[in-house]
Amino acid sequence: MLELTAVRCFPLLALSAFLATGSATLLSPMVSVPARAQIAAASDVEARIDALLANMSLDQKIAQVVQPDTASFSLAEMTEYRFGSYLSGGNSGPGGDELAPPERWLALADAHWDAAMVPHADGRPPIPTMWAIDALHGHNNIVGATLFPHNIGLGATRDPDLVRAIGAATAIEIAVTGIDWTFAPTLAVVRDARWGRTYESYAEQPDVVASMAGAMVEGLQGTPGTSAFLGPDKVIATAKHFLADGGTGGKDQGDTVASEADLRRIHAAGYIPAIARDVQTVMASFSSVNGVKLHGDKAHLTDYLRGGAGINGLGFNGLVVGDWNGHGQVPGCSVSSCAASFNAGLDIFMAPDSWKPLLAATTAQVKSGEISMARLDQAVRRILRVKLAAGLFDKGRPSSRPLAGRFELLASSDHRALARRAVRESLVLLKNNGNLLPLKPKQRVLVAGDGADNVAMQSGGWTISWQGGGDLTKTDFPRAQSIYGGIVETVKAAGGSTMLSADGSFTAKPDVAIVVFGEKPYAEFMGDIDTLEYHDDYKSYKTMQRLRTAGVPVVAVFLSGRPMWVNPEINVADSFVAAFLPGTEGGGIADMLFAKADGGIAHEFRGKLSFSWPNGPMPPKLDSSRDPGTLFPFGYGLRFADHSNVGSLRETAPPGRAGDARIAVLGRSGLPAAWYMWLAEAGSPAVPISSNAGSSPSGALVLRGVDRDRQEDARLATWRGGTKAQIAVTATRSLDLSTPDQALVIDLRVVAKPTGKVMVGVTPASVGMGKKPNSLLADATALLANGPGTWRTVSIPLRCIGRRAALRAVNTPFVIETAGRLSLAISDIRIARPTGLGLKCPARPR
Ligand code: BGC
Ligand code: BGC
């Protein structure tokens, strides 16, 4: 097999261009780090690897290729098994605390390092371990870090120098916490914005992704061939998810059906510049290409990715890491055993919680020859090569490294200024009728909408927790500025005044209103949606309409992880700004909305859409200039000087939308967009949770994500008993459930049988302010009597729950409550024709 071992040479031109444009912004003045002494010649590196390999035991080698998650191993286990690397997934803060201060992350880095470096009993030298994390828009798992706009916004800037500087700032913040490796950048070329990871993508077009990919990798790792490469202020980067994760038709972990030519032209576009910048690692995608899971696809994962010019391959020379138990999805494999994936070219299994049986299975497979020793040595060689390139053998304990513990560099003023500039450049002006923008700052400005003063919402998913949003509050963002905060700063300085009013109501009439609204945070499959229609039950629309009717001009600021069908909202606003997910520097928005005090332009809009904006609920056809499904084409973005007038847009959906015959209440990929789940207890206010974990006020009911087929595609609810506690799902609109013969159909698994009566049902929409309607419930205890059990489907016919007339307007399509103890896993809830085990209900008056 072809294996390139030479260190790539870099054209001097690229290097000097980089120095001229990027270097001034790369390091804040406070950061000065010694350069790496010298770059080892490729032959020296390979000789050193030979020597290391010759001295490693089989156990030591296998430990290099299995990567556990910090939530699932102890320090003692690190010493016992010596994992070659480990990760912290999106919900894996130190000691299980996602809000842990940065000091604890660094202390944990030391603890793991020490545990890995305990001398071996047999005298063999320990191999340094390395720690990986998802720093996708800044060092986003760390409280107090700078959060930059998500990639969709960076794509709109069309500014690779900015992106390179963001990579460099992110690397510095990661180095402060003693972490070695980031699982970024995502190089997906997302062709259908219904995918929940659209915001991780720079653009729907390969050339924009390609222009950002090399810049981000260079920012994170440094310039190859220079002494700065992987120096102390740099981290190992990952190009992910290989290959064609963005081509699955909007489905997470789906299948991309494409010709080999399109795979290369569209989906490989970002990998070419990333590999040219010597990206050290590539992550295999969960998804498939033409029906073959990438985790088992040797043709792409090895032959194409690593092949040289001869087979028109990409010439990658680093290591391939798997995705979260992704090997388990290869036919014939399980999460705890998968020789096929390793033989196809996976060098490191990401085995967050499956590492222990996987170590044993992989050892047995090497012993039996199912995995050859040569293949194992090859993977370990690649891993050691990355470790040597990153200087891990010389770097010492994490806290002893030059930037470690310099916590003042997290959200330093330089990094915040850079993020604020990125926000300015990323905003796309979609409508500016009557040239309302830029606004005079010296006026009375009303700020409305639930995104106005909400840093969690403006930051999106992968923010402190995996899903972001949820329970995060202001105090979890100590150094951030909300959009409202930025507006106050600008307007006050100019002598104007502001009022914050979530619903837009006012006593003194404002001169202008800014309404900030949009999607609530989500990540991965939890963000998959069936249509691009934005709905918040016309809440923001009504707010804007009331303001317009009162004669107040309205600026809409839309926060979203993708372009959406928002024609009604665009119609009702005078100006409309697509802000995507700007991150912690909300001040960048005021910078763009307001003129200077003297009326001059403060900052010109320069953002251009990196995704076509839809003119209906279905995604536009790409690469067709006159698709009626496109409202604003790729590349669109107004400037102040454009005297464009956006006329009245069609507000009704074209026919053929998903009907309500089957209503998904809770899918394997979470709730429908903007729906909420509540946990309630008798006598205390209900707690809304938008992610999959939480607990009721006194902890009588605890919910957490568990795996059924995919990670966290199910919820485990545990009732402690003693107090009546309830889970409810609230929709954004009222649903007509009066169609005959429908049922609440639930996929569930009884983990511990109920000790009391369990009631299941729905709650009708409220009949008026302050009047709380009663839930309509049926006794479902009989359906849960067999436990502990396996997954099955149960149905509760709606006629067991209430009369048809009462089901005409329901806004809470699922309620379950008990005062007893019960532990129940739930993966899917829908209103549909009954299937599975059905509840027999007494005949009721119709
Ligand atoms: C995601 C990856 C991520 C990994 C580790 C997976 O679910 O697909 O993008 O790097 O988890 O958190
Ligand atoms: C995410 C991880 C997260 C995990 C939770 C994965 O898909 O990428 O970061 O912690 O799911 O089970």
pLDDT over 70, % of the chain: 91
d(CA 441, CA 486): 12
Residue 691 has pLDDT above 90, yes or no: no
Please tell me which residue, 110 or 745, carries the higher pLDDT value. Answer: 110
Position in ligand 2 atom list of the atom nearest CA 711: 12
- In tens, the pLDDT along 369-400 reads 999 999 999 999 999 999 999 999 999 999 99
Active-site annotation holder among 297, 323, 347, 681: 323
Residue 18: CB within 6 Å of ligand 2?
no
Dist. CA 691 → ligand 2 center (Å):
12
Residue 466: CB within 6 Å of ligand 2?
yes
User: Which ligand is nearest to the Cα of residue 187, counting in written order?
Assistant: 1
d(CA 788, CA 804): 34
Active-site annotation holder among 524, 528, 574, 585: 524
Dist. CA 138 → ligand 2 center (Å):
18
Residue nearest atom 8 of ligand 1, based on CA coordinates: 323
What are the residues whose beta carbons fall under 8 Å from the beta carbon of 500, sequence distance 6 or more? 447, 448, 452, 453, 484
Q: Please report, for residues 115, 577, 655, the alpha-carbon distance to residue 534 in angstroms, rounded to integers and kept in the order given.
A: 49, 15, 17
Categorize the per-residue pLDDT at 74 as very low, low, confident or very high, splitting at 50, 70 and 90: very high
Residue 418 has pLDDT above 90, yes or no: yes
Backbone angles phi, psi at 359, to 5 degrees: -60, -45
| Cβ–Cβ < 8 Å for 229, 9 | no
Backbone angles phi, psi at 730, to 5 degrees: -110, 135
Backbone angles phi, psi at 469, to 5 degrees: 55, -130
d(CA 648, CA 774): 42
pLDDT of amino acid 405: 98
524 is catalytic: yes
Dist. CA 325 → ligand 2 center (Å):
10
If you average pLDDT over residues 476-492, what whole number do you get? 98
pLDDT of amino acid 32: 67
pLDDT of amino acid 339: 98
Dist. CA 132 → ligand 1 center (Å):
11
Indicate the average pLDDT of the chain.
90
Residue 95 CB burial class (10 angstroms; 0-12, 13-18, ≥19): exposed
If you average pLDDT over residues 501-508, what whole number do you get? 96
Dist. CA 712 → ligand 2 center (Å):
8
Q: What amino acid occupies position 76?
A: A
Dist. CA 540 → ligand 2 center (Å):
32
Please tell me which residue, 240 or 531, carries the higher pLDDT value. Answer: 240
Dist. CA 576 → ligand 2 center (Å):
34
What are the residues whose beta carbons fall under 8 Å from the beta carbon of 80, sequence distance 6 or more? none
| Cβ–Cβ < 8 Å for 704, 692 | yes
DSSP class per residue in 498-557:
EEE-TT---SSPPSEEEEEEEPPP--GGGG--SS-B--STTHHHHHHHHHHHTT--EEEE
Residue 726: CB within 6 Å of ligand 2?
no
Q: Is 737 helix (H, G, I), strand (E, B) or coil?
A: coil
User: Which ligand is nearest to the Cα of residue 710, counting in written order?
Assistant: 2
User: Which ligand is nearest to the Cα of residue 461, counting in written order?
Assistant: 2
What are the residues whose beta carbons fall under 8 Å from the beta carbon of 590, sequence distance 6 or more? 483, 486, 487, 489, 490, 491
SS (HEC) of 425-466:
HHCEEEEEHHHCCCECCCCEEEEECCCCCCHHHHHCCCECEC
Residue 504 has pLDDT above 90, yes or no: yes
d(CA 214, CA 18): 11
User: Which ligand is nearest to the Cα of residue 132, counting in written order?
Assistant: 1
Backbone angles phi, psi at 439, to 5 degrees: -85, 150
Categorize the per-residue pLDDT at 655 as very low, low, confident or very high, splitting at 50, 70 and 90: very low
The conformational region for residue 326 under phi > 0 = left, psi -120 to 50 = alpha, else beta, is alpha
Residue 525: CB within 6 Å of ligand 2?
no
Position in ligand 2 atom list of the atom nearest CA 707: 12
> Which residues have C-beta atoms less than 6 Å from ligand 1?
87, 89-90, 134, 183, 240, 286, 323-324, 524
C-alpha angle 302/303/304, rounded to 5°? 100
* Top mutation candidate among 251, 324, 463 for ligand 1, by most atoms within 8 Å of CB: 324
- In tens, the pLDDT along 638-648 reads 999 998 899 99
What are the residues whose beta carbons fall under 8 Å from the beta carbon of 343, sequence distance 6 or more? 298, 371, 375
pLDDT of amino acid 845: 43
Dist. CA 579 → ligand 2 center (Å):
26
User: Which ligand is nearest to the Cα of residue 238, counting in written order?
Assistant: 1
pLDDT of amino acid 675: 77
684-689: strand order across its sheet: 684-689, 676-681, 725-730, 810-818, 758-764, 776-779
User: Which ligand is nearest to the Cα of residue 284, counting in written order?
Assistant: 1
Residue nearest atom 7 of ligand 1, based on CA coordinates: 324
Residue 12 has pLDDT above 60, yes or no: no
- In tens, the pLDDT along 142-192 reads 999 999 999 999 999 999 999 999 999 999 999 999 999 999 999 999 999
C-alpha angle 595/601/606, rounded to 5°? 110
Residue nearest atom 5 of ligand 1, based on CA coordinates: 89
Dist. CA 546 → ligand 2 center (Å):
42
pLDDT of amino acid 192: 97
In sequence order, which ranges of 665-790 are alpha helices (DSSP H)? Answer: none
Residue nearest atom 6 of ligand 1, based on CA coordinates: 324
- In tens, the pLDDT along 552-576 reads 999 999 999 999 999 999 999 999 9
Residue 834: CB within 6 Å of ligand 2?
no
Q: How many CB atoms lie within 10 A of CB 259?
A: 9
Q: How many CB atoms lie within 10 A of CB 173?
A: 27
pLDDT of amino acid 773: 66
If you average pLDDT over residues 350-360, what whole number do you get? 97
Q: Please report, for residues 193, 208, 500, the alpha-carbon distance to residue 202 in angstroms, rounded to integers and kept in the order given.
A: 12, 7, 33
pLDDT of amino acid 14: 34
DSSP category for residue 469 = S
Q: Is 85 helix (H, G, I), strand (E, B) or coil?
A: strand
Residue nearest atom 11 of ligand 2, based on CA coordinates: 711
Q: What is the dihedral of CA 32, 38, 39, 41, to 10 degrees?
A: 180
Residue 661 has pLDDT above 70, yes or no: no
What are the residues whose beta carbons fall under 8 Å from the beta carbon of 535, sequence distance 6 or more? 673, 674, 732, 733
Backbone angles phi, psi at 809, to 5 degrees: -135, 100
User: Which ligand is nearest to the Cα of residue 253, counting in written order?
Assistant: 1
d(CA 19, CA 164): 11
d(CA 598, CA 590): 16
Residue 37 has pLDDT above 80, yes or no: no
If you average pLDDT over residues 48-63, what whole number do you get? 97
* Top mutation candidate among 466, 709, 713 for ligand 2, by most atoms within 8 Å of CB: 466
Residue 468: CB within 6 Å of ligand 2?
no
Dist. CA 340 → ligand 1 center (Å):
21
Residue 347: CB within 6 Å of ligand 2?
no
DSSP category for residue 94 = G
Q: 685, 696, 689: which is closest to 718 by C-alpha?
A: 696
Dist. CA 324 → ligand 1 center (Å):
6
Position in ligand 1 atom list of the atom nearest CA 183: 10
Q: What amino acid occupies position 613?
A: W
Helices vs. strands in the chain: H and E counts, helices first: 22, 33
pLDDT of amino acid 686: 79
Categorize the per-residue pLDDT at 656 as very low, low, confident or very high, splitting at 50, 70 and 90: very low
* Top mutation candidate among 141, 462, 712, 715 for ligand 2, by most atoms within 8 Å of CB: 712
d(CA 11, CA 280): 19
DSSP class per residue in 666-684:
EBTTBSSTT-EEEEEETTE
Residue 681: CB within 6 Å of ligand 2?
no
pLDDT of amino acid 23: 37
If you average pLDDT over residues 674-687, what whole number do you get? 81
Dist. CA 820 → ligand 1 center (Å):
37
d(CA 532, CA 562): 9
| Cβ–Cβ < 8 Å for 282, 255 | no
Residue that has been written with the tokens 């995705």 in this structure = 323
Residue 252: CB within 6 Å of ligand 2?
no
Residue nearest atom 7 of ligand 2, based on CA coordinates: 711
Position in ligand 1 atom list of the atom nearest CA 286: 8
Cross-strand pairs, 293: 288
Position in ligand 1 atom list of the atom nearest CA 711: 7
pLDDT of amino acid 731: 80
pLDDT over 90, % of the chain: 75
Q: Please report, for residues 406, 435, 516, 604, 756, the alpha-carbon distance to residue 641 in angstroms, rounded to integers and kept in the order given.
A: 45, 8, 24, 9, 68
If you average pLDDT over residues 25-46, what whole number do you get? 64
pLDDT of amino acid 810: 86
Residue 711: CB within 6 Å of ligand 2?
yes
323 is catalytic: yes
Categorize the per-residue pLDDT at 535 as very low, low, confident or very high, splitting at 50, 70 and 90: confident
| Cβ–Cβ < 8 Å for 560, 458 | no
* Top mutation candidate among 70, 88, 91 for ligand 2, by most atoms within 8 Å of CB: 91
Residue 88: CB within 6 Å of ligand 2?
no
Residue 89: CB within 6 Å of ligand 2?
yes
d(CA 766, CA 812): 10
- In tens, the pLDDT along 776-831 reads 999 999 899 877 788 888 899 998 888 888 888 888 899 999 999 999 999 889 88
Dist. CA 168 → ligand 1 center (Å):
22
255-256: strand order across its sheet: 255-256, 288-289, 292-293
**Residue 129 structure tokens:** 């371990």
d(CA 469, CA 464): 9
* Top mutation candidate among 131, 136, 323, 707 for ligand 1, by most atoms within 8 Å of CB: 323
Residue 712: CB within 6 Å of ligand 2?
yes
